[in-house]
Amino acid sequence: MQFYCKNGTRKERKTDRMNLDEVAMSQSIKDVFQKSKSKRNASQDYNLKRTSLQSRIKASLKEKSLEELLRKYDDPGNASEDKIDQIFSETNF
C-alpha cells in the first residue's frame, strides 16, 4: 500500500488500519442485530476490530431505529444481499 505525501513522494503505509472488509462488516452487524452473536464474538469471527464494529452499529442506530433495522435484516430463508447493500447505501457513515 502506497500513498503520496504533500511533497509528491511516495511512502509505504505502516499499517492497513483503514482497510476494512465491508462484506464482513455488514455480515457481522447483521449477526449482532439478529442477536445470533455478541459484538465481541462477531468481531472475532469476521476478523474485525471490536471498536470499529461498535462505531458502525452506533452510526447505523443513529440513522434508523432498531426495529427498522431488524425488519430490513429479517430474511425469510432466502438470504438477499440486496437488502444489506441497500441498508448501507442509505446510511451515511
What does pLDDT average to in each consecutive run of 10 residues of the chain (93 residues)?
Answer: 66 66 87 90 92 90 81 59 61 56
- At 26 the pLDDT is 86
Q: Which tens digit of pLDDT belongs to each residue from 18-39?
A: 677 888 888 998 899 888 899 9
Q: Is residue 77 part of a domain?
A: yes
Q: Which three cell numbers stand for residue 51?
A: 471498536
Q: Is residue 13 part of a domain?
A: no
Q: What is the pTM of this model?
A: 0.59
Cβ–Cβ under 8 Å, residues 30 and 70: no
Per the document, the length of the chain is: 93
3-state helix, strand, coil in the chain (%, to 5): 55, 5, 40
Alpha-carbon gap, residue 84 to 72, rounded angstroms: 8
Q: Which domain holds residue 72?
A: 21-90
Q: How many domains does the chain have?
A: 1
